[in-house]
Amino acid sequence: MKYTDLNDKDAKALSELLKEKKLLLFKLRGKLRTMQLNNPNEIKEVKKDIARIQTAITSTSARKA
């Protein structure tokens, strides 16, 4: 997921996407603890996606003000 893809979305869609990614991160961490996760790099990618979404949310709120 790239920041340019997120920049076009509104705040409501971004918050829904953020909620989905946080839930996915929770599930991946659970799989890591139970040794069911095949690719631990997925956690790193989801964390980066969450950071990008939060940055997009901040920038949309700054544009409105």
11-55 pLDDT, tens digit each:
899 999 999 999 999 999 999 999 999 999 999 999 999 999 999
Tokens for 32? 């890591």
Calculate the dihedral angle through the C-alpha atoms of 37, 53, 14, 40, rounding to the nearest 10 degrees: 0
Kindly report the pTM of this predicted structure: 0.90
Tokens for 19? 């909620």
pLDDT band at 63 (very low <50, low <70, confident <90, very high): confident
**The one-letter amino acid at 42:** E
pLDDT exceeds 70 at position 65: no
Q: Tell me what pLDDT residue 2 has.
A: 86
- Domain region containing 10: 3-64
CATH number of the domain bearing residue 39: 1.10.287
Split into its structural domains, the chain has a count of 1
Instruction: Tell me whether residue 14 is exposed, middle or buried, using C-beta atoms within 10 angstroms of its C-beta: 0 to 12, 13 to 18, 19 or more.
Output: buried
Q: Tell me what pLDDT residue 58 has.
A: 92
